[in-house]
Amino acid sequence: MFNKFSPSTDVTGQTPPKSSVQRSIRAAILSQCKIGAETLEQVWPKKESLIHVKCRNHISIYTIHGEPLFFQQSDGPIYPTLRLLHKYPFILPRVGIDRGAIRFLLSGANMMCPGLTSAGGYLPPPENALPAGTPVAVFAEGKEHAVAVGITKLGTEEMRKVNKDIGVEIVTHLGDELWNQQTL
Amino acid sequence: MSSETQPEPVQPIEVLYCQVCTFPPEYCEFGSSFTRCKEWLKESHPALYDKYYSDEALQSKLGTLSLEAQAKLEKDTAEKEAKAEKKADAALKKKMASQVSIKRMERNKRKFVTAIHGLEAFDVELKKASKFLAQKFATGASVTKNPQGQDEIVVQGDVAEDVLELIESRTGVFKSVPSANVVIVEEKKKKGE
Ligand SMILES: [Zn+2]
């Protein structure tokens, strides 16, 4: 989503949403991410106004004091930025890629199933299987911190079964143009 | 995992980021400045440096990756680094060749504004600089787009010479601007005036 992105050409406006809209954004984050209201309060205090940074391609980035915290495309799921995920790694369910896949991910590729199902990869056990369309934290073999945020294109059990094609679409990763915008 | 409400917020993990490439240091090996990243880590976080780059760490780091694939990765990293250095060199050359122009422009009846263009090439934050100028000259200043669609600072009043002086003395926000790259240009008279 942010392999090509430049604030000077892609940002079309910055506005604080109406408070009713802010409430619904907060509710959406609480229902979609595994973050408690009190922890979210620490990240985004109720008395502070979120700023909606409108971008091309129907991308919305939400910031507090200029720091990007969440983003969304059209009415799709709300994702945390990778820096926020680093602070609270539990807010999204985890998948893992093997070491061989890291450099492809960092150059902007989506993750193919074999990189997730191999010995160095990680998918949740069957009892915690994730359906297609779930936002996930993408971890990497041998690394402590997440390398990307993505969304499953197949259910995790399906990934094991078919073991080809794209398993996880990457929405933001270490070193992409959203990562490079520490403030907006 | 439990659904009961926790009254206490979870404290955030403070992740250390590499001052060179901005990645967590464990990912520096995939960036385009690995050599400089390692130097920085060794200098500022020697314990972490040992954790990531001791012989043992390098052995276990391979994980499930074959030696062959690891060699390929290292070659890739070296190439990336060389490319990035070349690019940085070119960018620096371009920067040193770019120019800041200060232009006095007439607005109706002996009213002047001063437009300053090109500061961003020297990493000057235009908003900050315009605030600074407004304060300095007790006048209005703003960042606006010129007809070519580029951002520039417009200060109310004829302050071209004073701005040049400020930049030449490398005051505050302007300290990264080499004075050799700054010129005062004359406004072109419009036809029919
Ligand atoms: Zn680094």
Instruction: pLDDT band for B75, please (50, 70, 90 cuts).
Output: confident
Report CA(B46)–ligand 1 centroid distance (Å): 14
In a domain, B5, yes or no: no
Q: Do A98 and A169 fall within a single domain? A: yes
Instruction: pLDDT band for B4, please (50, 70, 90 cuts).
Output: low
In a domain, B10, yes or no: no
pLDDT digits 0-9 by tens, A76-114: 999 999 999 999 999 999 999 999 999 999 999 999 999
Residue of B nearest to A37 (CA): B9
CATH code, domain with B177: 3.30.780.10
In chain B, what residues touch A145 (CB-CB under 8 Å)? 15, 24, 26-27
Using the CB atoms, write b or e for B101-111: b if 16+ within 10 Å: bbbbeeeeeee
Instruction: pLDDT band for B189, please (50, 70, 90 cuts).
Output: low
pLDDT digits 0-9 by tens, A13-23: 999 999 999 99
CATH code, domain with A23: 3.10.400.20
pLDDT digits 0-9 by tens, B14-40: 999 999 999 999 999 999 899 999 999
What number of H helices and E strands is found in chain B? 6, 5
- Domain end: A87, A113, A143, which one? A87
Nearest to B15 among A39, A145, A180 (CB): A145
Which whole number is the average pLDDT over B172-190? 81
Range of lowest pLDDT (A119-128, A131-140, B123-132): B123-132
Considering just the CA atoms, what is the radius of gyration of chain B in Å? 25
Q: Do A87 and B22 touch (CB under 8 A)?
A: no
Give the residue with greater pLDDT, A9 vs A31: A31
Give residue B5's pLDDT. Answer: 52
Residue B58 belongs to domain spanning: 25-93
Residue A58 belongs to domain spanning: 7-87
In a domain, A79, yes or no: yes
SS3 call for B50: helix
Q: Do B118 and B169 fall within a single domain? A: yes
Report CA(B28)–ligand 1 centroid distance (Å): 4
Q: Helices in A33-96 by DSSP H: which ranges?
A: 37-43, 82-87
Give the residue with greater pLDDT, B4 vs A46: A46
In a domain, B14, yes or no: no
| Average of per-residue pLDDT values in chain A | 95
Q: Do B114 and B180 fall within a single domain? A: yes
Report CA(B23)–ligand 1 centroid distance (Å): 6
Q: Do B81 and B120 fall within a single domain? A: no
Query: Which stretch, B16-30, B69-83, B177-191, has highest mean pLDDT?
Result: B16-30
> Is the pLDDT reported for residue B7 higher than 80?
no
Give residue B193's pLDDT. Answer: 42
Q: Do A102 and A173 fall within a single domain? A: yes
Task: With beta carbons less than 8 A apart as the criterion, state whether A100 and A115 touch.
Answer: yes
Instruction: Report the candidate in B110, B108, B112 with the shortest Cα–Cα distance to residue B155.
Output: B112
Residue of B nearest to A38 (CA): B9
In a domain, B103, yes or no: yes
Give residue B84's pLDDT. Answer: 86
Number of other CB atoms surrounding residue B99 within 10 Å:
12
Q: Do A172 and A106 fall within a single domain? A: yes
Instruction: pLDDT band for A65, please (50, 70, 90 cuts).
Output: very high
In a domain, A11, yes or no: yes
Q: Do B79 and B102 fall within a single domain? A: no
Instruction: pLDDT band for B121, please (50, 70, 90 cuts).
Output: confident
Element at B92 (helix H, strand E): helix B67-97
Give residue B176's pLDDT. Answer: 85
In a domain, A2, yes or no: no
Q: Do A106 and A129 fall within a single domain? A: yes
SS3 call for A81: coil
CA distances from A148 to A32, A110, A121, B171 (A): 18, 10, 14, 41
Nearest to B13 among A87, A98, A99 (CB): A87
Give the residue with greater pLDDT, A35 vs B107: A35
Give residue B123's pLDDT. Answer: 85
A179 touches chain B (CB under 8 A): yes
Structurally, chain B folds into a number of domains equal to 2
In a domain, B112, yes or no: yes
Give residue B192's pLDDT. Answer: 47
Mutation target to probe the A interface, by most A beta carbons within 10 A, among B4, B23, B125 is B23
